[in-house]
Structure 1
Amino acid sequence: MTARTGAETGLVGRLSMLDRLLPAWIMVAMAAGLGLGRAVPGLDDVLSAVEVGGVSLPIAVGLLVMMYPVLAKVRYDRLDTVTGDRRLMVSSLLLNWVVGPAVMFALAWVFLPDLPEYRTGLIIVGLARCIAMVIIWNDLACGDREAAAVLVALNSVFQVVAFGALGWFYLKVLPGWLGLATDDLHLSTGKIVVNVLVFLGVPLAAGYFTRRAGEGARGRDWYENRFLPRVGPVALYGLLFTIVVLFALQGETITDRPYDVARMAVPLLMYFAVMWGGAFIVGRAVRLAYARTATLAFTAAGNNFELAIAVAIGTFGVTSGQALAGVVGPLVEVPVLVALVYVSLWVRRRTEARTIDA
């Protein structure tokens, strides 16, 4: 048994304290937001006093802070290391940009046909492909680190280019083709594009140039082991700030309709399970080794909930159901993907045992 396999029993212990307790931090932020909303009447007017493109300035800053550390971690120089593996690249592109959005679209319409705002929010979550936490899940599951770095970089760039078009297709065009009523959805595709460019494009450029400048001036070892650990927690602080504000403004809706929040969790649970399991089957079917199969599965199942929240708030407003759906995403995703890491390691042990027996 390898040393890495032997450490599986301490899997949760290998997460940083912040990552390990992420669901708990989110719950605390939700509770704090609900309390703040009751304690400070008129908070909405205070936050709206200064707006940028229809988004409250404090919230806009929180969203950008939330995205930047994530994109500063991406290894943009690794694009050529695994792009020669056509089986991995084609499978990943199809799963992330064809299958994933379609699966979330179907689940959202099946489980939330009468809740258009939450349904739209989940579809936006499905369009925001994972670019951050997947590196953690991939490492814990003994996946291919280089392949994960490449797929994360590709997803980052592809989202800037394709998110707006996919949002237009899944929120306006496809429902019309299928005869689904969307009269209750007032959507500006241009606004989605602008928000993606601002809340993903700006931190993406900042992350890219930070890495280039940091590695050029101080070296990769300093950047990876000194700089990133310092700025990494900032993403969580930005996320928690956004959640506090969102729940402060939505407190009455949330406390009056907790069943709706539970209903959103059901399609999310199904989505993560279907995408992870389907990707794992695809990886084995095209004869990828375990490490790259695990990487394929986690990059397909995870979502960029930071971007989903940013787009939902920027497009529909901080008090919208779409924004609330974006927050429910990480609350469900984190514990589910931790559980799937254990499943993945179990598959790895079974695979190794069969190889030895053969």
Structure 2
Amino acid sequence: MSNSSPTAARLSTLDRGLPVWIGLAMILGLGIGRLMPGLGDVLESFTIGGISVPIAAGLLLMMYPVLAKVRYDRLDTVTRDRKLLIASLALNWLVGPAFMFALAWLFLPDHPEFRTGLIIIGLARCIAMVVIWNDLALGDREATAVLVALNSLFQVVAFAGLGWFYLDLLPTWLGLSATGLDVSPAAIALNVLVFLGVPLAAGYLTRRVGERRRGRDWYENRFLPRIGPFALYGLLFTVVILTALQGEAITSQPLDVARIAIPLLAYFSLMWAGSFVLGHALGLNYPRTTALAFTAAGNNFELAIAVSIATFGVSSGQALAGVVGPLIEVPVLVGLVYVSLWARRFFTDSSTATSVAVPVTSKDSS
């Protein structure tokens, strides 16, 4: 393949077709959900501690290969980057929830269920799919691992309190209608443990044992390319399950889905763009700016869906908004991967990425 296109040259053939695979997975999921209207109830019956087993399986399969690529011996270089850490915390826990609250009330003042669902999405900061988007955009894997871990910690201690603030206290102060949200910190901790703790531990142990027994060269150039494609398989499986979960509701309520989609489009696009510009303004290099932008724009949809279903029911408007969330997030952030790769030209140090030696999903990029 010609090296004339920096973007194309760094993506594998499998990765370059990602928008097509995502679209086909959504169509398949919607078709399954439409033809089998009871499938959502069946899928919801496979839960452990409020966590959907099919969704968990897809996400764990998706996250493990990427977290196995992280160079854990380099994490100290990220923790010393105060600008990156402070910017990420501010974007995720101050700007993101407030921005989603404003969009929800601006676009859905007459739909309290959908509005509440969007606010819950804004409160659930990303700890899962962001690793895929960052890797595809050639971002800093180590920085993403640290930022995701930081988000996870804050998610456990802050989610319930922020839910009370944005759904109850702040609307009351502003003279708006309030909605209660009763969510257990223990349930959030379990969510974080399953969706981050398990694949993170597996990735760390795989690298540690693999390098010790076979050496880094074998691990980087033989083992990682073999497991890489499973990240995409897990992503596509998850998309199919999510669309099938509410396939009937999505296809039978297109206007409601469109109303939910508009603020979500604005949120994901503007959060990513603002964070990317901020990273550049702070003097971060391209890999870390990319990590900052995707961790700020992405959301923990698995937590948002679980909380919405547990609190309001599987057939509620809040649950519908929760499912629509990733259906908008996935194609938007896939598109922003290509925007990010195009924007590398504006960074004089874009070639300094230290974590892109192994392509995301294939053995080579030809």
TM-score range, shorter chain: 0.7 to 0.9
Residue 24, structure 1, aligned to residue 20, structure 2: yes
Q: Are 2:117 and 2:308, in contact at CA under 8 Å, matched by a contact in 1?
A: no
1:329 CA drift (Å) = 0.9
Q: 1:106 aligns with which of 99, 102, 108?
A: 102
Deviations 1:92-148 (A, max 9, x none): 443344434443443344334421354145314545483332133145xxxxxxxx2
- Residue aligning to 2:227: 231
Q: 1:120 to 1:250 in 2, by over 3 A?
A: same
Q: Deviations over 1:202-248 (max 9, x none)?
A: 22211111111112112222222222222222222222222222222
Contact 2:144 2:292 in 1 (8 A): no
Partner of 1:132: 132
Do 1:125 and 1:329's aligned partners in 2 also have CA atoms closer than 8 Å? no
What is the rounded CA distance, in whole Å, between the counterparts of 2:91 and 2:327 in structure 1?
Answer: 23
Kindly tell me: are residues 306 and 268 of structure 1, through their superposed partners in 2, closer, same or farther at Cα, counting changes over 3 Å? closer
Match of 1:245 among 238, 241, 247: 241
- What is the CA-CA distance between 1:334 and the residue it aligns to? 1.0
Question: In structure 2, what residue type is equivalent to 1:37?
Answer: G
Q: Gaps spanning 5+ residues in structure 2: where? A: 351-366
Q: Which residue of 2 aligns with 1:165?
A: 157
Secondary structure (helix, strand or coil) at the match of 1:131 reads helix
Distance in 2 (CA, whole Å) between partners of 1:339 and 1:194 is 34
Partner of 2:170: 178
1:1-358 correspondence runs (5 A)? 7=3, 9-40=5-36, 42-48=38-44, 50-113=46-109, 114=111, 115-116=114-115, 118-120=117-119, 122-124=121-123, 126-128=125-127, 130-138=130-138, 148-179=140-171, 180-183=176-179, 185=181, 187-286=183-282, 288=283, 292-303=284-295, 308-317=300-309, 320-321=319-320, 322-345=322-345, 347-348=346-347
Contact persistence 1:280–1:294 (CA under 8 A): no
| Cα contact 2:168–2:179 (8 A) shared by 1 | no
* Cα pair 1:121 1:326 within 8 Å, conserved: no
The structural deviation recorded for 1:335 is 0.7
State the alpha-carbon separation in 2 of the partners of residues 297 and 265 from structure 1.
26
Q: Hey, what's the Cα distance between the residues in 2 that align with 1:294 and 1:13?
A: 17
The number of residue pairs the alignment matches comes to 332
What secondary structure sits across from 2:66 in the alignment? helix
Q: Alignment partner of 1:133: what SS?
A: helix
Q: Distance in 2 between matches of 1:282 and 1:92?
A: 10
Q: By percentage of residues, which structure has more helix? A: 1
Q: Distance in 2 between matches of 1:195 and 1:315?
A: 10
The alignment partner of 2:177 has SS state of coil
1:180-200 CA-partner distances (Å, limit 9, x unpaired) = 534275544432222122222
C-alpha distance 232-166 of structure 1, shift in aligned 2 (>3 A): farther
Between the aligned partners of 1:249 and 1:211, the Cα distance in structure 2 is 35
CA contact (8 A) 1:67 1:307 kept: no
Q: What is the alpha-carbon distance in structure 2 between the residues aligned to residue 262 and residue 19 of structure 1?
A: 28
> Normalized against structure 2, the TM-score is what?
0.77
1:69·1:207 contact (CA, 8 Å) conserved in 2? Answer: yes
Distance 1:94 1:310 in 2: 22
Identity %: 45
Structure 2 vs 1, CA of residues 177 and 43 (structure 1 numbering), >3 Å: closer, same or farther?
A: closer
CA distance in 2, matches of 1:300, 1:252: 36
Which AA in structure 1 matches 2:205? Answer: F
Look up the SS of the partner of 2:179 in the other structure: coil
Cα pair 1:75 1:153 within 8 Å, conserved: no
State whether residues 29 and 240 of structure 2, in contact with CA within 8 Å, keep that contact through their aligned partners in structure 1. Answer: yes
Task: Indicate if the aligned counterparts of 1:200 and 1:307 stay in contact, CA closer than 8 A.
Answer: no
The amino acid across from 1:54 in the alignment is G
Deviation, structure 1 residue 254:
0.6
The TM-score normalised by the length of structure 1 is 0.78
The whole-number CA distance in structure 2 between the counterparts of 1:121 and 1:19 is 31
